[in-house]
């Protein structure tokens, strides 16, 4: 057995390299024409039934408006009922023929089952499931007092998407429907203080890539990996080490620094367009894909950049006001140019 592995260690790398040299040109040409075909003959969403989790704010809210503008029927869910009803009213005004709201905590499996059952009972079918509910956490791993507090991050981001998907898949098979998953570029970026958040998004990415193999062509799956997009997360709304949700814009500045933040309406439009074309992946804004290649080709360089930018010295946490990433932002005044106006206020939606 060792001899076989020694042989493969020698042969597999050059064989793979030369195979890719032959295979990539026709493959990329094929993908180009498939994308072009999908753009020309994209899915008509008029009358389609769409579930959107996390629809009370951020990307989920804007996705509701984007689907509504294309005539889709909507089942909107979130924990905040008042905000959810406001989004539903706006979606009806924009053009959705039918909108229902369901209060759901996606971290609870029974509530996810009820969401799908209520939607199918009301509309008689299901065409798109959009898993956009999520929450971020910001804390150095060794600063966590009670590590079990952070189970909620995985329960919401990962398990919340898994639960809804499990109950929706049988209905999506019947309609040849689609699943749209909001993972994150954090699934590959090792940003300090986002240990639990990054892990939850990486789990989502791996889960839905595997599920795509299992369901085959019966259900389309579009995995979205946004960069920094205006939302309550980029407004500084975090789950803290004490297990509380707070708004901390100083910490937000540390984590984002002088990186441009994208428009949430533009992101939502790109997601719906991508899903309608049947794309497998979408990174928005598209330039953020370079961070993936940096991770693949130069992981040690990427880790060094994060360590130098986010920590005062190797292995030591820097206070928000002392982190180099925040100092650069404050000294250059880049926030006024790179951050949308919605991020300048600490106010976020509340019940």
- Let me know: does 55 contact 63? Beta carbons within 8 Å: yes
Lowest mean pLDDT among 39-48, 114-123, 129-138: 39-48
Residue 171 has pLDDT above 80, yes or no: yes
Model confidence pTM above 0.85? yes
For 131, the 3-state DSSP assignment is: strand
Residues 267 and 231 sit within 8 Å (Cβ to Cβ): no
Assign 348 a pLDDT band (cuts: 50, 70, 90).
Answer: low
**pLDDT tens sequence across 250-280:** 888 888 888 999 999 999 999 999 999 999 9
Segment 275-323, tens digit of pLDDT: 999 999 999 999 999 999 999 999 999 999 999 888 866 555 556 667 8
- CA 185/CA 204 separation, integer angstroms: 11
Q: Is the pLDDT of residue 172 over 80?
A: yes
**In the numeric block, which tokens belong to residue 209?**
């890539």
pLDDT computed for residue 320 by the predictor: 64
pLDDT at 328: 85
Q: Residues 65, 91: contact at Cβ < 8 Å? A: yes
**pLDDT tier at 228 (50, 70, 90 boundaries)?**
very high
Q: What is the per-residue pLDDT across 192-208, written as a single tens digit (0 to 9) for each?
A: 999 999 999 999 999 99
**Using CA atoms, how far apart are residues 121 and 103, in angstroms rounded to an integer?**
16
Catalytic residue among 65, 197, 310, 339: 197
Residue range 136-163: mean pLDDT, rounded: 92
Q: Is 65 a catalytic residue?
A: no
Give the strand pairing for 178-182 and 220-224: parallel
Q: Using pLDDT thresholds of 50, 70 and 90, give the confidence band for residue 325.
A: confident
Task: Pick the range with the lowest mean pLDDT from 135-144, 174-183, 203-212.
Answer: 135-144
b or e along 11-42 (b: 16 or more beta carbons within 10 Å of the residue's beta carbon)? Answer: eeeeeeeeeeeeeeeeeeeeeeeeeeebeeee
Contact residues for 33 (Cβ-Cβ < 8 A; gap 6+): none
């Amino acid at each position: 057995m060792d001899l076989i592995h020694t042989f493969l260690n020698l042969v597999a790398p050059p064989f793979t390299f030369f195979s890719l040299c032959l295979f990539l040109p026709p493959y990329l040409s094929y993908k180009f024409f498939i994308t072009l075909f999908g753009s020309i003959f994209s899915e008509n969403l008029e009358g389609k039934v769409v579930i959107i989790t996390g629809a009370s704010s951020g990307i989920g809210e804007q996705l509701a408006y984007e689907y509504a503008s294309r005539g889709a029927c909507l089942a909107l869910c979130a924990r905040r009922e008042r905000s959810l009803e406001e989004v539903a009213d706006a979606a009806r005004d924009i053009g959705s023929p039918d909108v229902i709201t369901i209060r759901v905590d996606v971290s609870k499996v029974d509530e996810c089952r009820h969401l799908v059952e209520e939607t199918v009972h009301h509309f008689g079918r299901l065409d798109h499931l959009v898993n956009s509910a999520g929450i971020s956490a910001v804390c150095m791993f060794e600063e966590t007092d009670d590590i079990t507090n952070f189970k909620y991050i995985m329960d919401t981001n990962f398990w919340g998407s898994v639960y809804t998907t499990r109950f929706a898949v049988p209905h999506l098979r019947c309609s040849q429907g689609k699943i749209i998953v909001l993972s994150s570029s954090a699934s590959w970026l090792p940003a300090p203080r986002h240990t639990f958040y990054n892990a939850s998004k990486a789990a989502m990415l791996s889960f839905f890539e595997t599920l795509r193999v299992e369901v085959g062509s019966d259900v389309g799956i579009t995995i979205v990996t946004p960069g920094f997009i205006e939302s309550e997360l980029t407004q500084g709304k975090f789950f803290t080490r004490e297990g509380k949700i707070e708004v901390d814009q100083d910490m937000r500045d540390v984590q984002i620094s002088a990186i441009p933040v994208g428009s949430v309406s533009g992101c939502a439009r790109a997601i719906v367009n991508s899903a309608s074309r049947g794309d497998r992946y979408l990174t928005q804004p598209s330039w953020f894909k370079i961070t993936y290649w940096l991770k693949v080709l130069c992981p040690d360089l990427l880790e060094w950049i994060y360590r130098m930018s986010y920590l005062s010295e190797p292995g030591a946490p820097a206070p928000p006001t002392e982190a180099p990433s925040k100092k650069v932002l404050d000294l250059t005044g880049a926030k006024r140019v790179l951050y949308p106006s919605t991020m300048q206020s600490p106010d976020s939606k509340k019940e």
